[in-house]
């Protein structure tokens, strides 16, 4: 039987020269690309936060590199980052063997980086633009709701607060009236109004101060009522006022994250959901790179578009020529806003797909299929009866946008043989028309059904939806770990930077573009590159040499 032999363990045998463990990192490893990217970023605005004196600090550029690489590799916990800096050779190489603890990492992320994450994200996008990966001329926009780190059951609803506050005010007025009646000792002289009047905490405090001065020697019952007003009613009234102030224009918030709003989230494979504290996250993409993001406290996407586009323009000093979005953004307000900004809007509207189907097109009773005489301003029903203009009205959106609508009504519908198929109202048929919105929809329909519109419609699902799928499913980012709007913005900014760096790594790995990007310019002197034009595997090399060297 042959003798079994095993390989000798290298660590158990002494070596004359110690081995450099960093040599085990491949030359084309993503950590080297992230190191190169951060070296090209301007972080003077972060360095300015540091003050002289005291002990030394870890360099902010090194801390940015560590955080960027951590979020690129799906490591989000500061404790796990601390552990990786001691055990993972990629983190060790990136940090230069520096070992900041989790408190230092968390402080840098939450305090020093918080106000500058948007500018760092924009700098990474500008670098991608310089490298010709992005044009910034087109935005595929969509939103998703991401759950907050708040407790799911500590909710505050605006309707409940308003109702409870009104009941409390009624009770307070009742007690105050009863005390005043005891002072005057004559209900007939009081002349009080039984209708409860709104009262705020400041007015109640002043009233109680006056009553305490007047009723120093009052009986026990009156003192008990005053004590109840001070210790119970006043405290509750202040709580309701504070809650209404926090709510503002929102309908709800969580006690453990007051910036989060309760929204219906799709939880399981059947799309069944429940109300949870969350944020509405909007992103713009191009070639599956995230070019802009914004965080909102409204559940609907319609009201977020203008703010989102404003943020894009502020970051890059320009606006995209084209915007592609789904029906959640197709409102009169948004169409008008994009027209004023000279943006080509490939934005769907409600019932866009439904109206393309045969049952909708062939239904003569639908409003959009009725004949309209524009010169005399009337509609004609299938029986030939005129629906004449009877007045105008206004509709106000959540953002305060005013829409003008027109009302039309038939004169006589009784006895019509088609009435059962036409409408079910008790009186004559009445319709409401927004002519301006119909004009915008006609223009949107024309653009969406054009050759370029069909191309954008086919790309939109694989642009934004694919990015959300990567973030939520592949990277397990279905819930924020930080609380409050500014920290949520920071966390999603780091996630977006990590996503873009992963995409950049996939782009440059392969045909030696990675080595050129990371500064290995001596490769151009090798004989294999002298005839690179004739070699198919280096066909992209010439494209990336010039812009990268210009950026360097």
More confident residue, 303 or 515: 303
CA distance 430 to 283: 41
Q: Is the pLDDT of residue 107 over 90?
A: yes
Instruction: Report the percentage of the chain scoring pLDDT > 70.
Output: 85
What pLDDT shows up at residue 414?
82
- For residue 28, the model assigns a pLDDT of 78
Task: For residues 113-119, give the mean pLDDT.
Answer: 91
Question: Helix (H, G, I), strand (E, B), or coil: what is residue 58?
Answer: coil
* 511 vs 27: which has the higher pLDDT: 27
Looking at 57-126, which runs of residues are DSSP E strands?
A: none
526 pLDDT above the threshold of 50 = no
CA dihedral 445, 448, 450, 454 (to 10 degrees): -150
Distance CA 88, CA 91 (A): 5
pLDDT of residue 131: 86
Residue 128: CA atoms inside 13 Å, Cβ hemisphere, count?
Answer: 30
Q: Is the pLDDT of residue 193 over 80?
A: no
Q: Which of 158, 165, 494 is nearest to 297 (CA)?
A: 158
Tally of CB atoms within 10 A around 211 = 19
Contact 229, 175 (CB under 8 A): yes
Phi-psi region at 119: left, alpha or beta (left = phi > 0; alpha = psi -120 to 50): alpha
Interval 125-152 mean pLDDT: 91
Average pLDDT rounded to a whole number, residues 510-532 = 52
Helix (H, G, I), strand (E, B) or coil at 330: coil
pLDDT band at 512 (very low <50, low <70, confident <90, very high): low
Q: Is the pLDDT of residue 437 over 60?
A: yes
Q: What is the pLDDT of residue 62?
A: 93
CA distance 445 to 439: 10
Pick the more confident residue, 395 or 203.
395
Q: Does 345 have pLDDT greater than 70?
A: yes
Phi, psi of 301 (to 5 degrees): -80, -20
Structure tokens at 455: 């191309």
Q: How confident is the model at residue 530 (pLDDT cuts 50, 70, 90)?
A: very low
Least confident of 47-51, 219-223, 509-513: 509-513
Q: Is the pLDDT of residue 544 over 50?
A: no
Strands 371-373 and 378-380, by their bridges, are antiparallel
- In whole angstroms, what is the distance from residue 407 CA to residue 431 CA? 6
DSSP string, 183-237: HHS-HHHH---SS-----HHHHHHHHHHHHHHTTT--HHHHHHHHHIIIIIHHHH
pLDDT at residue 543 tops 70: no
Cα(344)–Cα(338) distance, rounded to whole angstroms?
Answer: 7
Q: Is the pLDDT of residue 321 over 90?
A: yes
The size of the chain, in residues, is: 552
Rounded Cα–Cα distance for residues 251 and 303 (Å): 15
Question: What whole-number distance in Å separates Cα of residue 110 and Cα of residue 78?
Answer: 11
Chain-wide mean pLDDT for the chain? 82
Asked whether residue 197 carries a pLDDT value surpassing 70, the answer given is no
Q: Which residue shows structure tokens 């109640």?
A: 204
- Quick one: pLDDT band at residue 284, thresholds 50, 70, 90? very high
CB contact set of 33 (below 8 Å; sequence gap of 6+): 501, 504, 505, 508, 514, 517, 518
What pLDDT is stored for residue 446 in this prediction? 92
Tokens 């109840």 locate to 228
Q: Which residues are registered as beta bridge partners of 387?
A: 379, 410
Q: What pLDDT does 473 receive?
A: 86
Q: What is the pLDDT of residue 61?
A: 93
Task: Answer whether 70's CB lies under 8 Å from 76's CB.
Answer: yes
Structure tokens, 254: 């969580």
Residues near 178 by beta carbon (within 8 Å), at least 6 away in sequence: 225
Q: What is the separation, in whole angstroms, between the first and last Cα of the chain?
A: 63
Record the tokens describing residue 245, joined without a space: 């102030």
Token couple for 463: 């642009």
pLDDT in tens, 442-500: 999 999 999 999 999 999 988 999 999 999 888 888 899 999 999 999 999 999 999 99
**Residue found under tokens 């045969």:** 358
pLDDT at 520: 56
Q: Which of 132-141, 358-367, 527-536 has the lowest mean pLDDT?
A: 527-536
Element containing residue 264 per DSSP (H, E): strand 261-266
- Strand spans (E) along 49-154: 138-147
CB neighbours of residue 384 within 10 Å: 7
What residue has token string 């500018």? Answer: 119
Q: What percent of the chain has pLDDT over 90?
A: 36
Per-residue model confidence (pLDDT) at position 551: 37
What does the pLDDT average to over 76-97?
A: 92
Name 307's Cβ contacts closer than 8 Å, sequence gap at least 6.
294, 296
Give me the pLDDT at residue 522, please.
52
How many alpha carbons lie under 13 Å from residue 487 in its C-beta half-sphere?
18
One DSSP character per residue, 431-472 reads EEE-HHHHHHHHHHHHHHTSHHHHHHHHHHIIIIIHHHHIII
Which residues are within 8 A (CB) of 98 and not within 5 positions of it... i.e. 6 or more apart? 58, 62, 85
Strand 430-433's sheet: what is its strand order? Answer: 371-373, 378-380, 386-396, 402-410, 430-433
Q: Is the pTM of this model over 0.85?
A: no
Report the range of poorest mean pLDDT among 90-104, 188-202, 368-382.
188-202
What confidence category does residue 5 fall into, taking pLDDT thresholds of 50, 70 and 90? confident
The closest alpha carbon to 373, from 391, 359, 385, 356, belongs to: 385
In the predicted model, is pLDDT for residue 529 greater than 60? no
Q: Is pLDDT of 534 > 60?
A: no
pLDDT of residue 219: 66
Q: Is the pLDDT of residue 207 over 80?
A: no
- Higher pLDDT among residues 392 and 548, named by residue: 392
From CA 272, how far away is CA 267, in angstroms rounded? 6
Residue corresponding to tokens 């490298």: 131
């Amino acid at each position: 039987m042959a003798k079994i032999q095993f390989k000798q363990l290298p660590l158990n045998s002494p070596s004359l020269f110690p081995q450099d463990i960093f040599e085990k990192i491949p030359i084309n490893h993503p950590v080297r690309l992230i190191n190169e990217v951060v070296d090209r970023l301007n972080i003077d605005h972060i360095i300015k936060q540091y003050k002289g004196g005291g002990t030394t600090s870890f360099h902010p550029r090194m801390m940015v590199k560590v955080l960027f690489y951590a979020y690129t590799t799906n490591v989000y916990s500061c404790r796990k980052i601390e552990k990786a800096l001691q055990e993972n050779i990629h983190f060790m190489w990136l940090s230069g063997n520096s070992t900041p603890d989790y408190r230092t990492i968390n402080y840098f992320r939450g305090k020093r980086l918080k106000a500058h994450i948007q500018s760092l994200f924009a700098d990474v996008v500008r670098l991608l633009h310089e490298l010709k990966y992005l044009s910034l001329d087109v935005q595929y926009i969509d939103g998703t709701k991401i759950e907050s780190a708040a407790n799911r059951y500590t909710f505050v609803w605006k309707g409940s607060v308003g109702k409870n506050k009104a009941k409390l005010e009624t009770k307070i007025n009742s007690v105050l009236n009863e005390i005043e009646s005891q002072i005057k000792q004559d209900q007939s002289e009081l002349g009080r109004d039984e209708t409860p009047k709104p009262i705020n905490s400041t007015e109640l405090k002043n009233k109680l101060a006056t009553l305490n001065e007047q009723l120093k020697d009052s009986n026990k019952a009156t003192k008990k009522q005053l004590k109840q007003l001070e210790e119970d009613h006043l405290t509750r009234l202040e709580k309701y006022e504070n809650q209404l102030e926090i709510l503002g224009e929102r309908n709800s918030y969580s006690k453990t994250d007051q910036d989060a709003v309760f929204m219906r989230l799709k939880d399981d494979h059947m799309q069944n959901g429940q109300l949870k504290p969350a944020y509405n996250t909007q992103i713009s993409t191009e070639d599956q790179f995230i070019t802009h993001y914004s965080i909102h406290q409204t559940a609907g996407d319609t009201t977020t578009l203008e703010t989102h586009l404003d943020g894009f323009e502020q970051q890059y000093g320009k606006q995209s020529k084209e915007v592609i979005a789904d029906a959640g953004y197709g409102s009169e307000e948004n169409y008008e806003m994009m027209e004023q900004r000279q943006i080509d809007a490939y934005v769907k509207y409600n019932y866009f797909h439904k109206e393309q189907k045969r049952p909708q097109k062939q239904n003569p009773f639908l409003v959009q299929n009725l004949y309209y005489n524009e010169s005399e301003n009337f509609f004609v029903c299938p029986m030939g009866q005129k629906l004449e203009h009877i007045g105008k009205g206004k509709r106000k959106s959540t953002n305060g946008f005013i829409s003008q609508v027109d009302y039309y009504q038939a004169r006589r519908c009784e006895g019509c043989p088609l009435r059962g198929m036409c409408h079910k109202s008790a009186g004559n048929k009445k319709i409401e028309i927004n002519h301006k919105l119909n004009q915008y929809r006609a223009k949107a329909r024309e653009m969406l059904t054009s050759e370029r519109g069909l191309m954008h419609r086919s790309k939109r699902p694989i642009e934004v939806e694919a990015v959300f799928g990567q973030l939520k499913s592949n990277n397990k980012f279905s819930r924020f770990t930080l609380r409050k709007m500014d920290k949520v913005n920071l966390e999603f900014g780091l996630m977006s930077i990590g996503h873009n760096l992963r995409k950049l790594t996939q782009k440059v790995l392969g045909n030696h573009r990675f080595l050129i990007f990371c500064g290995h310019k001596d490769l151009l002197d090798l004989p294999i590159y002298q005839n690179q034009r004739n070699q198919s595997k280096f066909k992209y090399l010439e494209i990336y040499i010039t812009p990268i060297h210009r950026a360097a």
